[in-house]
Structure 1
Amino acid sequence: MAQDSVDLSCDYQFWMQKLSVWDQASTLETQQDTCLHLTQFQEFLRKMYETLKDMNSNTIFERFPTIDQLLAKACWNPFILAYDESQKILIWCLCCLINKEPQNSRQSKLNSWIQGILSHILSALRFDKEVALFTQGLGYAPVDYYPGLLKNVTKRANGNISRLASLSRVCVPLITLPDVDPLVEALLVCHGHEPQEILQPEFFEAVNEAILLKKISLPMSAVVCLWLRHLPSLEKAMLHLFEKLISSERNCLRRIECFIKDSSLPQAACHPAIFRVVDEMFRCALLESDGAPEIIATIQVFTQCFVEALGKENKQLRFALKTYFPYTSPSLAVVLLQDPQDVPREHWLQTLKHISELLREAVEDQTHGSRGDPLESWFLFVHFGGWAEMVAEQLLRSAAEPPAALLWLLAFYYSPHDGRQQRAQTMVGSRRGDFQPCGQRHSPAPTEVARDGTPHVAHCPVV
């Protein structure tokens, strides 16, 4: 091992001198000398990469202080770039120098410099006059031909595990370059038949980070593929949304809606697998916050955006509602998915009674021994805040004795864990005007209580 290290250091000095000579003169003799040494230099690059890949950026520069100069000289030599796999190995070596989390301006500048060199490598062999004439003869402009070429690279590699893995690794430092967008998209949407993911996790993480920071813009189909193939990226997208909502000083409903739509999550959630993950994270946030009004408002606004995206994507749903809400009655989900504003005012009471019957059947009906989890039905009801708002308005406008169906809805909304008898007592109490939500009765169920302690119904129409 020690001998290998000595040999590599000696080789390093030799090739540094060679590159300096090749760089200073562009005569026929230097070109011939370059061509004679291409195979040996590529082998040296391969050994360098094997050494660098196990070291961090700081350690690399401690051992090879001029490594950036050596690689830069090689990257600006067209003979080296054109030879066999030298271009690919150079990219690998440059990737080893990148600081994933730069701690100071020097490291940030180094990352920028590396990205510039990588951009040069891609553009160096991009188009010369002959290639331009050739593509025009085929009826393509270079601006159209190059993205197509990158996509074809991925198609040809599809099925070749090592090639796809290699491509995804090479892409990591290049992801924010506009020219690489077609390749990134093609990698994300390519579908292999392997039981395990073949693309590098670092690739998914880098793409996701660039999307969240708005450094790249990819088609929604590619974003959906990213979040389906790499669950940590979807979870990070949700956490990024929560962080934006928390860090914002004042969140009105319109601002919450802007944050949610900007996240692309409602559009991506049209795929049931993504919706289920997003919904589960909302559920956890709701329970962890003890039913915080801000979380309920966010869930309701997200649901409105999701339903809107679902309507735009396809008038005939590709997936059954059961795939989005598997633990609740499909007929209940169908009714709740309606926009309350589309229901004529004279049909409000009838529709609310129907919702109450469906919920009561799901929660309390024991005729077939299949009573559902009350929290599941309550969580579904909470998604659609417009109906809860309609219940409150009907009760406030009711001059006569309020209908029992609406009182049941209100009692269930505030106390989903109550049994049938306890909920009946709550309904009796509400008729006398002394109804108190579950939070004031020390129930374990989630509640919504205003900051001054006054109970109120959580319904948040976008204004």
Structure 2
Amino acid sequence: MAMVTPMSQSLDSWLNKAVEWDQGNLIESQKDICLHLPKLLDFLLQFYETLKHMSPSSSVEKFPCVGQFLGRLCWNNFVVGNEETRNILISCLSCLQSGDPKNAVELQANCWVQNLLCHLFSSSETFSHTDSKPADNLGCITADYHGKLLKNIISLWIKQIKNRKPEDQDCRNNRLFAEDIHALSIRCIPILILPDIIPLLEALLSYHHPEPKEVLDGLFLDSVNDAVLRKKILLSESAVLSLWLRHLPSLEKAVLDLIQKLIAIFYKSFKEMEQVINDSFLPQAAQHPSIFRIADNIFRNAILETDGNIKILTVIWMFTRCFSQIYRNNNTQDRFPLKAYIPWCDRSLLMALLRDTLGLPPAVCLQHLHSITKMLKILTKDARSPEHVFECWFLLIHFVDWVDIAAELLMTSECEISNDLLWLLAFYYNPWNGNQELSKTMAASRTVLDRLLKLPSSTLICALTLEEIFEEGKVVDCHPCTLQLLRHLFVTFLVFFQECNNTAKAFISHMTQTQEAASEVSDLLTRTVCRLSISAVKNEKLINIAQELLHNS
């Protein structure tokens, strides 16, 4: 039973009044409505403020008679004859619309709400357009009249928008038409979720006025973006792209919304995270350089604000992967050059990092990594400021696969330990390393590598041996960034040289005694599973080992 509240009591009182108006004498009811209309409007405004913070099911549970109350008011011509009252009724009804109906009851409720919205919206336009026709001329029964009329009105508006050529009109008419478009965008806000209005929304979003000032209302653009992000409406890709290009706050909200969604499902499933990214339409929209640069700048700020949080780094890597796949598959002539997306970086380094790792033989990867490291060394040595070093590191984050391959080659290559590969790992974990700090990091990682590579690969290694090697590396340099690098080497060793057994699980626990360390190891294993899963020759054994270690990390 719904709890009785002052709002519930007021609702009951106004429902009784609405019943009285419906059943009373027409003239007397009209007089009484005129007398009570200001107080009714005040109540509806308060009621709307309550409903907009509740879900449709919660609203019905708390106010069981809400449907009967709003329905009676919507069909009372004297009540909806007042524009303010009609508009607040539209807003209240919109709060009762389920964005994702779960059952037949919610579907039926949505249908009821949409019929009332069509009735209110179209009835307000009946005398505004010469194309409006009585029900018999529209070829429909009375019950369908308002739905048919709404479609008729929307078709007329779309025709006016599309046929309008602002450049052919004088300045005064342009200004007047801009005011009409602005007013129309405001009128669409309460009924965004009506399926019939989608073509009108897309027509408005595709309309561009010759003056630089945005002609569409800001609240309209915010509301459309919110409905798109919450999957309440489904617009064409071109309409969403137009929305984000013309309204920066909407794009920023979309990127931040994506980051939050990915962090919420972090480590659940790489495929699930990839699906969320592609479903957001941001990698597709980012094929436009302006969209990419804005999204990338938000990622950059997220790194700075979170002090390089590992989850943010992974989000950037995954987004870049999705973006790159789409870019590579686009072989059309209208494709933008890569320099347009990341104009601040060295072109040679960008092209080297963009090279697809899929199917590259180890020898080719090793040679390519030497080239990448050489370019990074030159760029960071000649860096004019810490900001310039950050930009080099930020670019490397987008293509962290190369860092993981470097760690793998250090473990699996039969050549002697490469200083270039060690330097690349050291740079990734601490790009601001001074010469002394860099030497200590390199020495610690080399100590660990020497010991690990001397371990016999044919026998199982006990956890105490691995712990001893890890602690030996910490003695050389226990800087947090060096410990991150050491964990990277050990994770690579466990995946490529050990079965997933109690020894591996016990050592993972030893390395991940803090939440931050556990996140780092999980991130490494997630990337490893992803890379092994899409390689030219899938190694199911290695994938299973990485997945089991991920499950136990």
Same fold (TM over 0.5): yes
Change (3 A) 1:68 1:254: closer
1:376 corresponds to: 391
CA RMSD of aligned residues (A): 4.8
For 2:49 and 2:407, the matched residues in 1 are separated by: 66
In 2, Cα distance between the equivalents of 1:258 and 1:408?
34
Q: What displacement does 1:110 show?
A: 11
Spell out the pairing of 1:127-146 with structure 2 (5 A cutoff).
none
Query: Which of the numbers 292, 297, 303 marks the counterpart of 1:275?
Result: 292
- Of 73, 76, 84, the residue aligned with 1:73 is 76
> In the alignment, residue 378 of structure 1 is paired with which amino acid?
W
Q: Which residue of 2 aligns with 1:343?
A: 360
**Partners in 2 of 1:104 and 1:146 — Cα distance?**
22
3-state secondary structure, aligned to 1:176? coil
The higher-RCO structure (CA 8 Å, 6+ apart) is 1
**CA pair 168-101 structure 1, distance change in 2 beyond 3 A:** closer
Is the aligned partner of 1:56 residue 2:73?
no
Q: Secondary structure at the match of 2:76?
A: helix
Q: 1:408 aligns with which of 406, 423, 431?
A: 423
Q: Provide the residue aligned with 1:96 in structure 2.
A: 88
Partner in structure 2 of residue 355 of structure 1: 372
Residues 284-433 of structure 1: matches in 2 within 5 Å?
284-316=301-333, 318-365=335-382, 373-420=388-435, 422-433=437-448
**C-alpha distance 114-56 of structure 1, shift in aligned 2 (>3 A):** farther
Instruction: Quickly say closer, same or farther: Cα 1:59–1:315, change in 2 above 3 A.
Output: closer
Task: Report the alpha carbon displacement of residue 216 of structure 1 after superposing the two structures with TM.
Answer: 1.3
Q: CA deviation at 1:188?
A: 0.9
How far apart, CA to CA, are the structure 1 residues paired with 2:199 and 2:473? 60
Aligned length: 401
SS of equivalent residue, structure 2 residue 75: helix
- The aligned runs of 1:109-128 (5 Å cut-off) are 115-120=114-119, 125=132
SS in 2 for 1:327: coil
- CA shift for structure 1 position 121: 5.1
How many angstroms does 1:118 deviate by?
A: 2.7
Identity of counterpart residues, as a percentage? 35
Distance of aligned partners of 1:324 and 1:186 in 2 relative to their CA distance in 1, 3 Å threshold: same
Q: Deviations over 1:211-264 (max 9, x none)?
A: 112121111111111122222222222332233334448522112112111211
Describe the superposition over 1:117-176 as per-residue Cα deviations: whole angstroms up to 9, x where unpaired: 3313567758967567xxxxxxxxx9x998764422323566421111111011112211
Alpha-carbon separation, structure 2, partners of 1:286 and 1:231: 20
Separation in 2, partners of 1:316, 1:307: 17
* Residues 442/68 of structure 1: CA separation in 2 closer, same or farther (3 Å cut): same
CA distance in 1, matches of 2:48, 2:336: 52
Q: Flag structure 1 segments of 5+ consecutive residues without an equivalent.
A: 1-15, 25-43, 78-85, 133-141
Cα deviations across residues 79-116 of structure 1 (Å, max 9, x unaligned)? xxxxxxx8xx85x65333424996999xx999997653
Deviations 1:292-332, CA, capped at 9 Å, x for gaps = 33322222111111112223455446333233223211221
Structure 1 counterpart of 2:429, one-letter code: Y
1:81 equivalent in structure 2: none
Report the AA paired with residue 260 of structure 1.
Answer: I
Partners of 1:195 and 1:154 in 2: CA distance: 18
2:221 corresponds, among 204, 209, 220, to: 204
Tell me the SS of whatever aligns to 1:399. coil
Secondary structure, in 3 states, of the residue corresponding to 1:186? Answer: helix
2:317–2:400: 8 Å Cα contact kept in structure 1? Answer: yes
In structure 1, C-alpha distance between the alignment counterparts of 2:363 and 2:429, rounded to whole Å: 26
* Matched-pair contact (CA < 8 Å) for 2:245–2:291: yes
Structure 1 SS opposite 2:344: coil
Amino acid at match of 1:388: V
* Contact residue 204 and residue 226 of structure 1 kept, 8 A: yes
Aligned partners of 2:249, 2:403: CA distance in 1, in Å? 34
With over 3 angstroms needed to count, the CA separation of the structure-2 counterparts of 1:439 and 1:21, relative to structure 1, is farther
Residue 153 (structure 1) aligned with residue 160 (structure 2): yes
Which residue of structure 2 lines up, in the alignment, with residue 240 of structure 1?
257
- One-letter identity of the residue aligned with 1:73: N
Report how far residue 200 of structure 1 moved.
1.3
Describe the superposition over 1:43-92 as per-residue Cα deviations: whole angstroms up to 9, x where unpaired: x9xxx99x979x9354999xxxx998565333999xxxxxxxx8xx85x6
- Pair 284,226 (structure 1): closer, same or farther in 2 beyond 3 Å: same
Q: Partner of 1:56: helix, strand, or coil?
A: helix
- Contact 1:154–1:183 (CA under 8 A) maintained in structure 2: no
Q: Equivalent residue for 1:191?
A: 208
- CA–CA distance in 2 between the matches of 1:145 and 1:99? 24
Q: Name the CA distance, whole Å, in 2 between partners of 1:431 and 1:372.
A: 29
With over 3 angstroms needed to count, the CA separation of the structure-2 counterparts of 1:131 and 1:101, relative to structure 1, is closer
